[in-house]
A and B are shown apart, each in its own frame.
Chain A
Amino acid sequence: MSWLTQTLSSSIGKKLIMALTGLFLCTFLIVHMIGNLQLFKSDEGLAFNTYTVFMTTNPFIKTISYGLYAFILIHAFDGLYLAYINQKARAKKYAKVNNQSTWASRNMGILGTVLLVYLVVHMGDFWYEYKFGHLPFKEYTIDLSEGTIIDTRQMPDGFMLNSKIEERLSDDNKSKTVIVKDLYQEAESSFANPLLVLFYILGMAAVSFHLVHGFRSAWQTLGANHPKYNPLFNFLGVWLFAIIIPIAFAAMPVYFFLKQL
């Protein structure tokens, strides 16, 4: 075994992989959340739909997203493998246990599995639909001097474009029309279903518990346990990753659901 495979297959090496992929997924969550905040704009989805086109066509972002899919899989499989090794290390269980650790820290494997299921459903709902499904197109007419949307129109069924977006200036140069794949509409119709909304809320609860331990834990694994930086790790782990991000994400399905009541 070369020194590198030896390192990565050691207990600390496997943990290193968990920490690095995990922290990458954490940064992804920040970007994903900020981008998706555009769902709350009352522009019938124009900003969100245009942003989606950018995120799925920009070569730099596309490269990163392939990395992201790979990291999700590596994180999941390495985690499951570690969980398997770890439970094998205690064959005979105690008759009585009185734990002195947090619930989240003891259940990262279960929380992670819930998240994996969540991800499959979530990607099926939106990523798959966007890439392979037949999403409708929507046309926005925008007044250029005011920057306001003056008209929107759902394109008829079966309407196709060669690209995901098409922009055209009007003849008098006063307005432009944008025709774009309408993922916003897909979110709207999906989240009319209260069961799916509930599922998303539970998914975000799992994110919260997974990250309240995971973020801090990743730094510990990387060897960063230092009185100067621990307050920052704790603050980000709790406030950003376990509170703000899950709540912001959970607010999205709830918002669509309430909007349609």
Chain B
Amino acid sequence: MSLTLKVWRQKNKDSEGSLETYALEGISPDMSFLEMFDVLNEQLIHENKEPIAFDHDCREGICGSCSMHINGRPHGPLTGVATCQLHMRSFSDGDTIVVEPWRAVAFPVMKDLVVDRSSFDRIISAGGFVSVNTGNARDANSLPVPKENADEAFMAAACIGCGACVAACKNASAMLFTSAKISQLALLPQGQAERKLRAEKMVAQMDSEGFGACTNTGACSAECPKEISMENIARMNREYLGAKLTSSRV
């Protein structure tokens, strides 16, 4: 395949940046999107040019680090797929592909396609955990969890923290991510002790990071590689408002 790539190049956090055009030849349709980028970077290195910086780690759709806004959509044209799991057969010979970093004030661009997603880490640090000493694994039957709750919690826990929801949202809102993290613990017995505090603190942290407020467009869920449902946002709203109304903190 021959392709034209328009890739966002930006030297560092403070520089302006612009779209640069690259021509690529001999790309196999079986390559993954990131392998195609590897080829492009080899080519740039041979030409004594700076290779394109992009985030990636597992390349199997579980770490959430690959973050590319491809032809106007986070993680490209497929649904339920992260950039690393996207293959060149999803494109046609001769295509022009525009690749940009996630755009959000809370995700500043560090270099080229790499953005700083530590705002997500700070949301998790605010309450996305269970502070118990786990000790020995206890007998599974001593802590009954209804099957539906287990399934729902599992679906929420599938969130890989990639940030595509923020990237897709016209408001750069982090509510799908935050709600998935609040939900997975709110649904399980282990999460009950800190349930209210968690909702209050994680939402407060989310707001302070400069993410927008959800307008329920559903773009997040449509672009999420793990197809996290908007039901989680509704649950987060219930958790948060319920906690605010009933918690002992004034």
Residues of chain A having any CB pair with chain B under 8 Å: 2-3, 6-7, 10-16, 82, 85-102, 105-106, 108, 213, 216-217, 220-226
Q: Do the beta carbons of B98 and A88 come within 8 Å of each other?
A: no
Q: Are A85 and B98 within 8 A (Cβ)?
A: no
Residues of B close to A11: CB separation below 8 A? 173, 175, 203, 206-207, 211-214
- Would you call B100 and A86 a contact (CB within 8 A)? no
Smallest CB–CB gap between A254 and chain B, Å? 32
- What are 28 A-B pairs at a CB distance below 8 A? A3-B250, A6-B244, A7-B241, A11-B175, A11-B207, A11-B212, A85-B213, A86-B171, A86-B173, A88-B210, A89-B105, A89-B211, A90-B105, A90-B171, A95-B19, A97-B72, A98-B71, A99-B72, A100-B219, A101-B219, A217-B215, A220-B216, A221-B237, A222-B237, A223-B234, A223-B237, A223-B241, A225-B235
Task: List, in ascending order, chain A residues with CB within 8 A of B204's CB.
Answer: 10
Are A99 and B219 in contact, CB atoms less than 8 angstroms apart? yes
- Whether a CB of chain A sits under 8 angstroms from the CB of B11 is no
- B residues within 8 A CB of A14? 213
Please tell me if the beta carbons of A10 and B171 are within 8 angstroms of each other in the complex.
Answer: no
Complex Cα gap A94–B17 (Å): 12
In the complex, A2 Cα to B250 Cα: how many Å?
Answer: 6
Within the complex, the shortest CB–CB distance from A17 to chain B, in Å, comes to 11
A-B contact count (CB 8 A): 138
Chain B residue with Cβ nearest A88: B105
Q: What is the bound-complex CA distance between A33 and B24, given in angstroms? A: 61
In the complex with contacts A86-B212, A90-B104, A96-B241 CB distance below 8 A: no
How far is it, in angstroms, between the C-alpha of A182 and the C-alpha of B73 when the chains are bound?
57
B residues in contact with A106, CB < 8 Å: 170, 217
Q: Answer whether residue B238 sits at the interface, using C-beta atoms and an 8 A cutoff.
A: yes
B100: which of A3, A95, A105 is its contact (CB, 8 Å)? A95
Interface: B172 (CB within 8 A) = yes
Residues of B within 8 A of A213 (CB): 216
By beta carbon, the residue of chain A nearest B244 is A7
- CA–CA, A107 to B131, complex, Å? 42
Cβ < 8 Å to A, chain B residues 206-250: 206-207, 210-219, 222-223, 230-231, 233-238, 240-241, 244-245, 249-250
B198 interface contact, C-beta 8 A: no
Contact status B237-A92, CB under 8 Å: no
* Complex alpha-carbon distance, A82 and B240, angstroms: 19
The interface residues of chain A lying within 8 Å CB-to-CB of B98 are 95-96
Asked if B106 is at the interface of the complex by the 8 Å CB criterion, the answer is yes
